[in-house]
Structure 1
Amino acid sequence: MADDLLQVTVARLRRQGTDDALVEVKSSAKSLTTDIWDTVSAFANTAGGTIILGLSEEAGFLPVEQFALDRVRDQFVEGIGDGGGSGVRLTNPPSYALRRDIIDDGEVLVIVITENPVGLKPCFVTAKGLPSGAFRRVDDKNIRLSPAEVFEMQHALTPSKADGEPVPDADESDLDPEIIEALLTRMASSKALYGTSTRREKLSRLNIVDKQGRIRLAGLLTAGVYPQQFLPRLLIDVAVHLGREKSLPGVATRFIDRRECVGPVADSIDEAINVVLRNLRTYSIVEGAGRSEVPEIPTEVLREAIANAVLHREYAAVFTGQPVTVDVFSDRIEITNPGGLWGGKTLENLDDGTSRCRNLTLMPLMQQIAVRGAGRFTVEGQGGGVRMMNSEMEAHALQRPHYVATPDQVRVTLWRHGAEIPEHREWLRGLVDRDLDAREDTALLLARREGEVSVAGLRDALRIDSDEARETLRALRREGVLRMTHDETFVLAEGAPLPASRDFEIFRVLSKTDPRTIHEIAEASGRAVGALRKVLRGLVSDGWIIATASPTSKNRRYLLAMDDDAPERA
């Protein structure tokens, strides 16, 4: 009988009526079908997968009769390069494992293909060559890799030379004098310019130009007057859409707002941010003695995401016809750059704090050239950007950025509050009759979204210390907006009122360190023991006081939950 996983897999295929992104089934009754190598290539270039030989898809995924398993196995082993013969079918063949199994009393051959590591892609059918023989898996299809995808796989560990290449027809008159002078002034005392005397030598040292004085691509992009004169599609295309999807061609209103942001990269990034910001909702928060309007997605997150797309995109010739795109939808923002992840970066290690950049000429220039008139630099290059984005989004009770990477592009999604913002503000106004500061706002957003908020959780979200987080939560508790459950964890009080005014006598009797019996509390407060039992149960349930034992225990005593957190009498 087949193992449990194989049974589940075959049952799924029978329900679907087709194979899928994870599994390919082939009859191969008497011999191995030649198109199996397309599938091996697709699995090796995507995320791996399983091939089941000896099942018939046409017959409803039933075993084929008289399946020549041994012969088919030997043909596969030889074709993948382990048979010692000359029949190797693949370049960069993947690792694999194979085994016999039984489905409905019929023998099958199960082959598990492992995804090739970075540096050993693409795997392709040797006889077909590149790109015709290289595939990726999409649902149940083997799709040929595009030339751009092949390029990215071949250069996934190789620093790009494209940003250092000279741009035909560009010369020093195409550089912006203001940007160049600011750069030379900033770098005047640096080792980079040691021993230089002429302007040409300085520009060469900084990789604005090469030794022959030709303008490098990175120099044109960062310090050019209008780089798009030479490379029209190296821009940032910002489009604001009506709803959650792009409008179809022919629809009367396709965009609410649209801007192609051009010019040197620092300026175009700043312009793109401003276009996005003017199309986001804002809300008021208290900062000290004043108020400020903040966007629903933090500005620094937008800046980091858009700058990353420009900095880490691919600038090789096969990609220069593609811009960085920023699509603003009602529920999210999607920022997409041409070129896949580079240098061993994966979706799993994007936030590991290490910096890797394929564009080694562009990176240092972007670190030294400020946004015009702002004195602010676009990138810091220390590898902390993704972590910062995660923290800032969480601090505003937003989901972390979501990444999708294919061989030839990377897309990051920033989820908006959308309709939640005005609805949330209205909800807050019903809770507290005053303006909330940013910390209180975040605490209540977290409590509402997650069901609870803790001192540690608020500390990590806001990157403040525990005492500051604790005081924020205590203040909201004193107002009756939150109540403490356990271990410095708070939940929304759901409109529960503060303790009755006569119960404040109980808080005055209790302390945090000296437990009191119910009889001691009754004597000090002048309350009857019988009536006091129900009151104390309610105060324990709401988290105002702590009971040291079970209700039936003779040792049950009571403490204040927090000495400095007891409500004050009005």
Structure 2
Amino acid sequence: MGVYDFDLESYIGLARRLGTDTERVEVKAASQGLPKSMAETLSAFSNTSGGVVILGLAERAGFQGVPGFKARAVADALAQMCGEKMEPPVRASVEIVEFEGSPVVVATVPELPPELKPCFVKSRAMHDGSYVRVGDGDRRLSPYEVDRLLEGRRPPRYDREVVEGAAMGDFDEELLEGFMRRQRADSPRAFKGMSDEELLEALCVTARDGEGIVRPTLAGLMALGRFPQRYFPRACLSFTVIPGTSKADVSAGGLRFLDSREIVGPIPVMISELMVALRRNVRVSSKVEGAFRIDRLEYPETAVREAVANALMHRDYSPDGCASQVQVTMYGDRIEILSPGGLCRAMTVDRLGELGVSFPRNQALANILRATPYAEGFAEVGSVVENKGTGYFQIRASLREANMPEPVAIDHITAFEVALYKAGAGAEAGRFGFGFGGRAGGGGRGGVRLPEGAAGGKIVRSVTEWSDETGRFHTIHVLAPGTVECDIVDFLEEAPAPVSSRILMDALGKSKATISRALNRLMDKSLVERLGPSRGPGAVYRLVQ
């Protein structure tokens, strides 16, 4: 259901079957006036994917109209709250409609654009009054999440900061000399007459500390340092090879990982080392073209290299963000690249791949990497990035040329993840797909289909809730359409509360035996879990979280 195609009658019919309201809709009786918690809901909807507020229906009474409901007073109070008690003001559409003979207030709350988030309750200040929608409730954003949303208003400058304790001796001489040579060749007039020291300071590779001592910046150290992890131990890259399509899978020999390593060094070296590890773990096919034999990896090197370079360049380098590494995980059907920090400023998932569109979180680092050469001794040549807004475009183009599915991406407040599916992965991915579901600023769900050829069925489970425990997103589940299992998961996805088998029987028009068999199959696949007693009327079911 979209926010702007909301149908009150259809929704209340669903809510009555479920016995509760849902993620995108908040229903309140408001019999005593506008609820105090309404400001939190306005903030949550504005910071997530928008939503609809319905006032004047009593959930406990089966969503019936509230006797004596003062619709005009409540509507005016809600409009006043949107305009005067929220920052920035919420531009909601508030109207009074009639439902089953009773007046009801319906307010449509749009999602704020990235450059205006977060929306917060004025009386509580930004870091204590910003919320996000999760399930059918409102969750207060952590200070870290608020800071990441603020980057949509102005680019951060962490990459320009001096690294305390670092010195010029921490630079890799080969990379540093190659960088300066490239800069002088590209812009001879701009740097004419500048000393090396002046050039490096002008390009934010170095800066002066409070005592006037020249030291490397974070950007300079990450791009051109010998061992930046001396100062930022977790600003590294992890590479893991999983034997199946889920982290729960193990190999025939009982191994959880076929390969696992932590890659350190400056960004050019980490990318090159990652490519070495990738070539060691993927299949290679050969094709004779003329007098030459061409070897091709099952994943285009350009796509992987660009995705990893983007992750390292655009990741969150704030003090909190530096506590997490970029993760590259290779499964039997895909490669996932996860970086700390979501998309920055006006960039959205929908705009990825637009030629020339680039909103780098770390502008100084992006400029430095444009002229940073790869280290000698590796297969990579040229500069690390182009910094022209073409990185994601190249990923898509190289996958398309290899007849592979489009990349699948999700943006989250605290992380960004990209999946590259290899050709023909649909059969292997039968039960499990990638954990994406469209942009949902703080844990909301949104429907999105896997690229054509990536899976034969429809996505029936799409969760964008970030798990601090696992350090990744939950998994969506792909089932063949038209099956009872698929219909059950469809229904459970819309239900914010666990439901009984009786509700499923009534909603889907199936017998008790059919529903029970389908539920057992879904539980065997760890897609659905049962709560309460194993038998009897007290048992209810929900999707595995």
Q: TM-score, normalised by structure 1?
A: 0.68
Measured at CA, do residues 49 and 171 of structure 1 come closer, stay the same or move farther in structure 2, by a change above 3 Å? same
Is the partner of 2:416 in helix, strand or coil?
A: strand
**Partner Cα distance (2:225, 2:99) in 1:** 66
Select which of 130, 134, 137 maps to 1:138.
134
1:321 CA displacement: 0.9
Contact 1:24 1:50 in 2 (8 A): yes
> Equivalent residue of 1:351, what SS?
coil
User: Any idea what the Cα deviations from partners look like across 1:299-326, whole Å, max 9, x if unmatched?
Assistant: 1000111111111122122311121111
User: Which of 389, 394, 405 pairs up with 1:399?
Assistant: 405
- Counterpart Cα distance in 2 of 1:159 and 1:343: 7
Q: Which runs of 5+ in 1 are unaligned?
A: 82-87, 423-445, 452-570
Q: Report the equivalent of 2:460.
A: none
Q: How does 1:79-118 map to 2 (within 5 A)?
A: 79-81=81-83, 88-118=84-114
2:330 alignment counterpart = 328
By how many angstroms is 1:139 displaced? 2.3
The code of the aligned residue for 2:26 comes to: E
Match of 1:297 in 2: 299
Asked if the contact 1:330/1:418 (under 8 Å) is kept, the reply is: no
- Partner SS, residue 265 of structure 2: coil
Name the counterpart of 2:239: 238
SS in 1 for 2:388: coil
Contact 1:192 1:205 in 2 (8 A): no
Give the corresponding residue for 1:210.
207
SS of alignment partner, residue 157 of structure 1? coil
| Structure 1 residues 126-275: aligned runs within 5 Å | 126-189=122-185, 190-197=188-195, 199-211=196-208, 212-247=213-248, 253-275=255-277
Report the CA distance shift for 1:4/1:392 in structure 2 as closer, same or farther (over 3 A).
Answer: closer
Tell me, in whole angstroms, the C-alpha distance in 2 between the residues paired with 1:299 and 1:36: 50
Q: Which AA in structure 2 matches 1:332?
A: R
Shift of 1:268: 0.3
Pairing partner for 2:20 from 18, 21, 24: 18
1:383 matched to 2:380? The reply is no
Cα distance change, pair 344–420 in 1 and its aligned pair in 2 (3 A) = closer
Question: Is the alpha carbon distance of 1:4 and 1:50 closer, same or farther for their aligned partners in structure 2, counting shifts above 3 Å?
Answer: closer
Alignment of 1:408 onto 2:404: no
Alignment correspondent of 1:531: none
Q: Post-superposition shift, 1:448?
A: 9.6
In structure 2, the CA distance between the partners of 1:105 and 1:253, relative to structure 1 (3 Å rule), is farther
- For the 8 Å contact 1:32–1:72, the answer to whether it is kept is yes
Q: Where do residues 270-289 of structure 1 align in structure 2 (5 Å cutoff)?
A: 270-289=272-291
Q: Give the SS at the match of 1:191.
A: coil
- Root-mean-square deviation (CA, aligned residues, Å) is 2.8
Q: In structure 2, what residue type is equivalent to 1:397? A: N
Q: Which residue of 1 aligns with 2:445?
A: none
- Distance in 1, matches of 2:337 and 2:316, equals 15
Task: Tell whether the 8 Å contact from 2:406 to 2:420 is kept in structure 1 after alignment.
Answer: yes
One-letter identity of the residue aligned with 2:52? T
TM-score by length of 2: 0.71
CA contact (8 A) 1:94 1:115 kept: no
Identify the range of structure 1 (317-326 vs 48-57) with the bigger mean alpha-carbon deviation: 317-326
Q: Is the 8 A contact 2:86 2:122 kept in 1?
A: yes
In structure 2, what residue type is equivalent to 1:321?
A: A
Q: Who wins on radius of gyration, i.e. which is larger?
A: 1
Match of 1:307 among 306, 309, 315: 309
- Deviation of 1:259 after TM superposition, in Å, equals 1.6
The CA distance in 2 between the partners of 1:38 and 1:287, in whole Å, is: 63
Separation in 2 of the partners of 1:14 and 1:244?
A: 38
| Structure 1 residues 17 and 282, CA gap change in structure 2 (3 angstroms) | farther
What CA distance in whole angstroms lies between the structure 2 residues aligned with 1:375 and 1:396? 22
- Relative to structure 1, the CA distance from residue 63 to residue 213 in structure 2 (aligned partners, 3 Å threshold; closer, same or farther) is same
**Structure 2 CA distance, aligned partners of 1:146 and 1:450?**
36
The percent identity for this pair of structures is: 33
User: Are the equivalent residues in 2 in contact too, given 1:30–1:72 (CA < 8 A)?
Assistant: no
- 2:218 and 2:85 map into 1 onto residues whose CA distance is 40
In the superposition, relative to structure 1, how do residues 327 and 19 fare at CA in structure 2: closer, same or farther (>3 Å)?
A: farther
Q: Which moved more, 1:144-153 or 1:273-282?
A: 273-282
Shift of 1:449: 9.6
Of residues 106-115 and 139-148 in structure 1, the stretch that sits farther from structure 2 once superposed is 139-148
Quote the Cα distance in structure 2 between the aligned partners of 1:450 and 1:314: 32
Q: What amino acid is aligned across from residue 191 of structure 2 in structure 1?
A: L
1:355-504 superposed matches below 5 A: 355-373=358-376, 374-417=380-423
1:342 is paired with a residue whose SS is coil
Q: Secondary structure at the match of 2:214?
A: coil
What letter corresponds to residue 194 of structure 1 in structure 2? K
Residues 113 and 294 of structure 1: is their aligned pair in 2 closer, same or farther, counting only changes over 3 Å? Answer: same
Contact 1:95 1:116 in 2 (8 A): no
C-alpha contact (below 8 Å) 2:121/2:129 kept by paired residues: yes
- Does the CA contact (< 8 Å) of 1:29 and 1:67 recur in 2? yes
Matches within 5 A, 1:38-53: 38-53=40-55
Give the number of equivalent residue pairs.
418
Q: CA deviation at 1:405?
A: 0.7
Cα deviation for residue 196 of structure 1 reads 2.4
Decide whether the 8 Å contact of 2:369 with 2:385 is kept in 1: yes
Distance 2:453 2:127 in 1: 52
CA change 1:92–1:259 in 2 (3 A) is same
Distance 2:453 2:132 in 1: 43
Give me the whole-angstrom Cα distance separating, in 2, the residues matched to 1:72 and 1:173. Answer: 67
Q: CA deviation at 1:93?
A: 2.4
Distance (Å, rounded) in 2 between the aligned partners of 1:6 and 1:232: 53
Pick closer, same or farther for the CA change 1:340–1:397 going to 2, 3 Å.
same
- After TM superposition, the structure 1 stretch with the greater mean CA deviation from structure 2, 145-154 or 47-56, is 145-154
